[in-house]
Amino acid sequence: PESIGKTVAIVGSGPTGLAAAVELVLNGCKVIMYESARLAGGVFTNGIPSYLISDEVIQHEVQSVLDLGVDLVTGINAGESINLVSMKRSFDALLLTIGMGIPRRLEVTGGKKGDIFTGTEILESLKLKEKRLRLGEKIIIVGGGNVSLDVATSLLKLGSGSVTVIYRRDREQMPVFRTRFSNAVQCGMKMVYRAELKEISCNDQGTITRVVCRKTELKEKEDSRVVAQPIEGSEFSLDADTVIYAIGLDLDPNLIQLFSLQTSPEGRIQVNPATYQTSDPFIFAAGSCVEKVDTVIDAVAKGQLVARQIVAKVLQD
């Protein structure tokens, strides 16, 4: 494509960022993409198990984007490597496709850090094979999404003794793909529904011995959402030596502070829905850091849409 003499920086190289890069290049922009991990691909490279999609397929897709002329810089720490003032001098627009990068943890009593992990940590360690996590044989996973299922399936495939997932609601409310659920059950995953983690009990050495849960009851709110409320006096315990949290992700507060962005009540980056511009008109944002994205197709579509808005903006300038 003929160059329009505009350069765009993209921070994040998941499906949304890659799709935006393609669209921008096809519209004549120069694109430089920044990624904090060692390899591009976002959650597909770092968090989706290899039995669902092979590493070779992911890196082939990434390479096809780079072959269009996109420059990729990996292993960058945004706070150290990216300076907004210098970026405004060097680029015509900045696009953030940074996802939701910080795993949530529950504030419960007990348990030492070595025995408590997040689902993201587990999947990354298994996928990248860069560090070995020492897990026990009685694993409790807290959460009810696809990450909890992926962690359970991955660990059971590796021969873990017992994996139990605790979820506050019923199977019908689990935001998961049916095939992922059936795979996990076939591998031996156990489910405890309508329960929440209350406490982690340890021995004198600080090793987890069991978890204390309490039952929940479901109530439908006016907006049709089903909420789980704890039932007082309904505590029960499960044997455990490892606890894994798979209860969702939050935005990286350091990046929000770095770019001085406003966030929505849902804790995502606030954008103009028509233009994808943030509170700083130079900065655009798209993907799961802005709104819930359920599928890869959805993520790609968001990338294409935001790229068209960026092209329209830089051409006006």
The string of pLDDT tens digits covering residues 160-216 is 899 999 999 999 999 999 999 999 999 999 999 999 999 999 988 888 999 999 999
The string of pLDDT tens digits covering residues 254-311 is 899 999 999 999 999 999 999 999 999 999 999 999 999 989 999 999 999 999 999 9
pLDDT of res. 110: 80
Confidence of residue 224 (pLDDT cuts 50, 70, 90): confident
Domain limits, the chain:
6-101+251-316, 103-245
What percent of the chain clears pLDDT 90, i.e. is strictly above it? 79
Is 103-245 in the same CATH topology as 6-101+251-316?
A: yes
Q: How far apart are CA 173 and CA 195, in angstroms?
A: 13
The string of pLDDT tens digits covering residues 100-140 is 989 999 988 886 666 899 999 999 998 877 667 889 999 99
Q: Does domain 6-101+251-316 have CATH number 3.50.50.60?
A: yes
Q: What is the 3 state secondary structure string of 70-102?
A: CEEEECCCHHHHCCHHHHHHHCCEEEECCCCCE
Confidence of residue 233 (pLDDT cuts 50, 70, 90): very high
Main-chain phi, psi angles of 289, to 5 degrees? -75, -10
pLDDT of res. 130: 62
Strand ranges inside the chain, DSSP E: 6-11, 29-35, 71-74, 93-96, 102-103, 116-118, 138-142, 162-166, 190-192, 195-202, 208-220, 226-239, 242-245, 249-250, 283-285
Q: Are residues 243 and 233 in contact, defined by beta-carbon separation less than 8 angstroms?
A: no
- 265 residue type, one letter: P
Mean pLDDT score of the chain = 93
Q: How far apart are CA 59 and CA 10, in angstroms?
A: 18
The CA radius of gyration of the chain, in Å to the nearest whole number, is 21
pLDDT of res. 308: 98
Q: How far apart are CA 100 and CA 95, in angstroms?
A: 15
Q: How far apart are CA 88 and CA 93, in angstroms?
A: 7
**Residue showing tokens 């495939």:** 157
Tokens of 238: 């499960």
The architecture CATH gives domain 103-245 = 3-Layer(bba) Sandwich (3.50)
Q: How far apart are CA 250 and CA 265, in angstroms?
A: 12
